[in-house]
Amino acid sequence: MTVSALRGPALAPDATDAPDSIEAAATTTGTPTHCAYCGLQCAMTLTGSTAADLTVSPRRFPTNRGGLCQKGWTSAELLRTPGRLTTPLVRRDGQLVPTTWDDALTVVADGMREAQQNRGRDAVALFGGGGLTNEKAYQLGRFARVALRTSQIDYNGRWCMSSAAAAGIRCFGLDRGLPFPVTDIGSAHAVLLLGANPAETMPPFLTHLVRAADHGGLMVADPRLTPTAAKALDGGGLHLALRPGTDAALALGLVHLAVTEGHADRTYVEQRTTGFDELWAVAAQWLPERVERVTGVAVTTLREVVRTLARARDTERGAYVLSARGGEQHASGTDTVTAFIALALVLGLPGNPGSGFGTVTGQGNGQGGREHGQKADQLPGYRRIDDPAARAHVARVWGVDPDDLPGPGRSAFELLDALGTESGPSVLMVHGSNPVVSAPEAGRVTERLRALDLLVVCDFVLSETAAIADVVLPVLQWAEEEGTLTNLEGRVLRRRAALAPPDGCRGELEIWAGLASRLGCPVLFATDPREVFDELRRASAGGPADYSAVTWERLDAGESLHWPCTTERPQGTPRLFLDRFATPDGRARFVAVDHQGPAEPVDADHPLVATTGRVLQHYQSGAQTRLVAELTDAAGVMFVQVHPDTAAAAGLADGDRADVVSRRGRTTAQVRLDDDMRPDVVFLPFHWAGDGAANALTNAALDPTSRMPEFKACAVRLEARP
């Protein structure tokens, strides 16, 4: 994958970025907005008056620099899908049948009321999504805590960014995926990517890696030779083909080399950090030869990584360490990210202009979605729900007694796994998520969903989760709604409606207002997203993610605003940590962590490690992209990527159908042979459903801090199908 492979114009790395005022460029020929998919939130213009004639064109913007990927170019097709829901559905006599909105909302409200009367407030649960706008993420958390007064709320972003977020808070005192504008990376001569494959997950991001790649400084740590790793090698960079789940050992070995071979920035460590001695007591034990034995990465490669980062730092060309899901989606993901932050701190990168550490956010509103109350342990503004001062502030904004707010609830998988049990919720309402496909141990989760007294799903198509629901509520699509999102660099963006929604569809804000009224909640729930955002601003004021000076008017006027954006800093904060970190003493923290490895060992019955990921054409559970013919035709069928020797040992050839079997389930896939695969690893994309669902295999072992499941490593075997 090269930059030229992007559909649409892509700028050279030294091209002048689009002025920030392009955000407000309302034109006579279209509606400026942002893509429906990943956290890069590429700028685009929608032209047309109906779904049938709507077209997409890219806009120059600092994040995508005039490019779109295949998903972005085809995003309008989603609005034309024949399966679009426009009528509420209620299950009667085992079948989902059309009904009125009044009937559907009455069924939902009655079910919620009965469950709470019989079993307490926590009998009702809510499950959100990282693609919801800021307004909806905020209002969903408010609806849970004020209208339902339940603690049982979490969202699918728990499976995306939670380990990186926990590590960022642990070490820096604050979580913002990229604490600098993404354009800063474009000047760097060295970038180390950890478990990131932006060539497929967010192709326009590649425009920011061109300079590093051209100087041989793009380095990719990934168990397989992804298109991103291939791009690194093409430019003379490095591919670190480590064993899945050994990322922390890799990080500690790099820290060891940085210190022992004279690349540490000792002045930075002394003046801007604490805790180095404790971390070094662990890293000192990770001699390069030990790291090679554990990870499979050669000592010479380890040394070259550290030298490359240090050389780019010292020549003032810039060096970055960027983390993503490959290293994070493990039962020890928080410690892994913590170890790589330690590498960045030893080298003196975070908080220095032109260098830094960041995390590449996956979901469209992965950043904003985790800031305003969808998570079980949070209140708006990234406040902790168990903090008395935070509870008092938010309660004042909401007009309720702080003592009436519930405490922390279950995390995402723990919530789903408790459904329908004696101590768990008996009613669940799902927004913007498809856990039948996306949850770890998906078969087990599906059983739990089926055990509910009432499952309610808000969606625009009959996803795999909606298909087993008791009530399905048809909601708006991205081009039909107003709101804001926050991208991977903490930049607040405007989503604008280009089309009127089909008759019969309603927005979630209207749905929650209707349910709150039916439940007898005395607090009003606004249905105008602008009004909701104004309340969000007040609720976030003074919190870590402070939006108090962000307004729709400023965004519509073309201002580019990164949070925190306050009356004291009305221009926003594109670059964090330049003067101090967000810790009480202003210093970043080294935290002593060690390598743990995968939670599940291989054995004679399951001798291979399966790791999951994405393909270029599909997004998340595929519920949307599998409806677009151009994308499904290009992606082909569900596959398992295997080394030829590994396939031969199982009696398999290229193109054969095979079963991949773990201790939890099996998945059927077409064999794709790849000489570059590690012989002990197989790769499966997680976008397909049914017999091809990769998450039928995955392990729900949870990180003790972030509660992230271990998606990226589970023991499997291959079986030839008759």
Which residue, 410, 372, 296, 377, is CA-closest to 700?
Answer: 410
Which whole number is the average pLDDT over 261-288? 98
Encode 475-520 in three state secondary structure: ECCHHHCCEEEECCCCEEEEECCCCCCCCCCECHHHHHHHHHHHCC
Which whole number is the average pLDDT over 90-110? 98
pLDDT value, residue 192: 98
pLDDT class of 19 with cuts at 50, 70, 90: very low
Statement: residue 23 has pLDDT above 90? no
- The answer to whether 571 and 587 are in contact (CB under 8 A) is no
Encode 215-241 in three state secondary structure: CCCEEEECCCCCHHHHHHHHCCCEEEC
Dist. CA 617–CA 625, nearest whole Å: 7
What token pair was written down for 503?
């008759």
Name which of 283-287, 351-355, 651-655 the model is least confident about: 351-355
Domains, the chain, in order of start with CATH, read 3-80 (no CATH), 89-156+366-458+506-544 (3.40.50.740), 162-364 (3.40.228.10), 608-720 (2.40.40.20)
pLDDT class of 603 with cuts at 50, 70, 90: very high
- The answer to whether 693 and 620 are in contact (CB under 8 A) is no
Statement: residue 15 has pLDDT above 50? no
Dist. CA 594–CA 580, nearest whole Å: 27
Statement: residue 662 has pLDDT above 50? yes
- The answer to whether 613 and 685 are in contact (CB under 8 A) is yes
Residues 527-586 pLDDT 10s: 999 999 999 999 999 999 999 999 999 999 988 899 999 999 999 999 999 999 999 999
pLDDT class of 364 with cuts at 50, 70, 90: confident
pLDDT class of 391 with cuts at 50, 70, 90: very high
pLDDT class of 3 with cuts at 50, 70, 90: very low
Residues 116-142 pLDDT 10s: 999 999 999 999 999 999 999 999 999
Which whole number is the average pLDDT over 69-83? 93
Statement: residue 283 has pLDDT above 80? yes
pLDDT value, residue 583: 98
Statement: residue 150 has pLDDT above 60? yes
What token pair was written down for 8?
């649409």
Residues 481-518 pLDDT 10s: 999 999 999 999 999 999 999 999 999 999 999 999 99
Strands 657-662 and 666-673: antiparallel
Dist. CA 248–CA 260, nearest whole Å: 18
């009530």: which residue's tokens?
471
pLDDT value, residue 17: 40
pLDDT value, residue 154: 97
Helices (H), ranges, 173-226: 198-201, 210-214
pLDDT class of 316 with cuts at 50, 70, 90: confident
Dist. CA 373–CA 142, nearest whole Å: 7
pLDDT class of 25 with cuts at 50, 70, 90: very low
Dist. CA 117–CA 450, nearest whole Å: 22
Residues 198-218 pLDDT 10s: 999 999 999 999 999 999 999
Which whole number is the average pLDDT over 586-599? 97
pLDDT value, residue 560: 87
What token pair was written down for 302?
């380890």
> Which pTM was predicted?
0.94
What token pair was written down for 550?
């962000």
Statement: residue 636 has pLDDT above 60? yes
The percent of residues in the chain predicted with pLDDT above 90, rounded, is 93
What token pair was written down for 120?
């307490």
